[in-house]
Amino acid sequence: MARRTVQKRLASSLPGPLCLEEENQVNMKEWVIQVDQRVSQTSPAGERQADSNTTSIYRVPREEHVTFACKPSRVSFGPYYNGDRCCSRTEEHKEGSLVHFLGRSKKPLKSYVEALTAVVQDLKDSYDELESKWRDDTEGFLRMMILDGCFLIEVLRSGTNYYVSGDDSRKNPVFGMEGIHGSEKKYYRLDMLLLENQLPMLLLLKLISVERETILLCHLVSSIIITSSRLIEAAGHINKLVARFFSNLDFPTTDQGNLFLHVLHLYRQCLINKDFGPTQSLALQRTTVFYLDIPSATELHKVGIGFAVSKTRSVMDISFGHNTLRLPEIYVDDMTKSQFLNIIAFEQRHKDAGHDFMSYIFFMFRLIQTPSDVSLLQLHGIIETSLRRNEVAILFNVLRRSFTSATWLAAEHGVVGRKLRERYERMSDEWRLDLSQKYLRSPWAIISVVAAILLFILTIIQTVFTVLSFIYRN
């Protein structure tokens, strides 16, 4: 099927003024496209299946769905939950948002269709389990990508009160002048961070590039390379929109022009944010989580180790010096579990992601064993939460148990963990040595300590019996 046919059918599936104009003559450009597509159709069977190097949006096995809280509750993005009843309320708004997006950009739908047709296979390859109805129906897949992509951009802009020059937010048929706020914004955030509910960031870059009259000069092969300052600007625009929508993010300055894989990937990168300073050498020996025994927060506190808040909120900004453990501030609420579990699911499935976030979760799991540990970290401003202390302790236990493969501590965390362990053992030995030197230097000193303890116990017993006898007499 020729590319022009795909474009015409896609456009005709949308209402009224969005239809593409019919053209009777086949020009040279169309002829070249037709021949190229005929050549691609002669490729061996299976050659165009998803490339593992470009796949970034994964299906979580059904038996793990409860663990990883995969299903959206408000809006579906992409093919996995398209048309699901749980998101039916927002489906009717997508076309209205598309009309609003096109009207504001003053570009015909044809321009967007042409831009996305050029990379439609790359978009398909982003999904690891694409059903045949999407894999074989390019028109339907493109239509879904355009509707979902424009809707996501409108959500981001409405949720951050951002509007391009000349736009009147009151014309938005879905969000109106007030935009997305309060509890509604909370649930949009939750759905946007589900691994199975992602859109390729390349899609958003294409849409905004056309909107801004930018010619896309990059192509996705095994990674995304941005070769134009205008494209870097477009990528930076998307990144800033997402970072502002999730208002608690510190966006890495070194990554402002990068094109991430999807919103979840960008969110993870903001949490890891390595802008805070030089990282440890990658040559440092990494330690398996099964063998590094980090004491809990209360155990560390008992031997005199203090706690303080790190200068940044990066999960990699953990350090130990001057007998003080510095940890990034973290806010824990009823959405934290879903967000963190989906980041873990992504790290476990995407081979190039690394395990930095899982490393942080394990580190915190070792520190937080009881509600008392949570209370201690709250006291020092490291944990802020709307949950009960026992719920926070249970949360980190659940996050740790979600690991389905052996995980290595990142070099940064491994170095701090070993320093903590060594310091804890040394201070414990010093405490025992101090006790023995002060009170157990000779047999007579030992006898004195034992006698004092027995005398204290007998005094307590005498007091109890005195109180009981008084109660009995009265």
Q: Quickly list DSSP for 56-67.
A: -B-PPPGGGHHH
Verify that 347 and 236 share a domain, yes or no. Answer: no
Verify that 62 and 94 share a domain, yes or no. Answer: yes
Short-list 183, 192, 202, CA closest to 246: 192
Verify that 59 and 136 share a domain, yes or no. Answer: yes
Verify that 259 and 382 share a domain, yes or no. Answer: no
Rg (CA), the chain: 29
Which sign, positive or negative, has the C-alpha torsion 269, 258, 353, 319?
A: negative
In a 13 Å sphere around the CA of 431, the CA atoms on its Cβ side amount to: 11
For residue 308, give the DSSP letter: E
Verify that 44 and 157 share a domain, yes or no. Answer: yes
Question: 451 is in which domain, residue-wise?
Answer: 440-474
Of 206, 239, 272, which residue sits at a domain end? 272
Task: Tell me the residue length of the chain.
Answer: 474
* Strand ranges inside 301-457, DSSP E: 306-309, 319-321, 324-327, 330-332, 383-385
Verify that 460 and 412 share a domain, yes or no. Answer: no
Q: Residues near 280 by Cβ (< 8 Å), separated by ≥ 6?
A: 411, 412, 415
Q: Residues near 246 by Cβ (< 8 Å), separated by ≥ 6?
A: 189, 267, 270
Residues β-bridged to residue 384: 331
150 vs 156: CA distance, rounded Å: 10
Per-residue tokens: 339: 């967000």
Q: Residues near 227 by Cβ (< 8 Å), separated by ≥ 6?
A: 217, 218
pLDDT values of the chain reduced to their tens digit, one per residue, 474 residues: 545 554 555 454 554 444 444 444 445 556 555 555 554 554 443 333 344 568 999 998 877 766 667 889 889 999 999 988 888 888 888 988 898 889 888 889 999 999 999 999 999 999 998 999 999 999 999 999 999 999 999 888 887 766 544 455 445 556 654 556 667 788 899 999 999 999 999 999 999 888 887 444 444 443 344 445 556 777 888 888 888 888 767 766 655 556 789 999 999 999 998 765 444 443 344 444 445 788 999 999 988 899 999 999 999 999 999 999 999 999 999 999 999 999 999 999 998 888 899 999 999 999 999 999 999 999 999 999 999 999 999 999 999 988 876 666 787 888 899 899 888 988 876 555 455 555 555 666 667 767 788 888 888 888 888 888 877 776
Short-list 335, 338, 334, CA closest to 68: 338
Verify that 91 and 166 share a domain, yes or no. Answer: yes
Verify that 204 and 251 share a domain, yes or no. Answer: yes
Which sign, positive or negative, has the C-alpha torsion 116, 118, 120, 125?
A: negative
The answer to the question of residue 175 being in a domain is yes
What is the SS3 assignment for 83? Answer: coil
Q: How far are the Cα atoms of 159, 334, 360, 388 from residue 370, in angstroms, in the given order? A: 37, 19, 18, 12
192 vs 190: CA distance, rounded Å: 6
The answer to the question of residue 169 being in a domain is yes
Number of separate domains in the chain: 3
Short-list 360, 341, 344, 352, CA closest to 414: 360
Verify that 244 and 390 share a domain, yes or no. Answer: no
Contact predicate 374/392, CB 8 Å: yes
What is the SS3 assignment for 247? Answer: coil
Verify that 240 and 338 share a domain, yes or no. Answer: no
The answer to the question of residue 292 being in a domain is no
- The predicted model scores a pTM of 0.77
Transcribe 134-161 into DSSP letters.
Answer: HHS-HHHHHHHHHHHHHHHHHHHHHHTT
Verify that 399 and 467 share a domain, yes or no. Answer: no
The answer to the question of residue 282 being in a domain is no
Verify that 80 and 171 share a domain, yes or no. Answer: yes
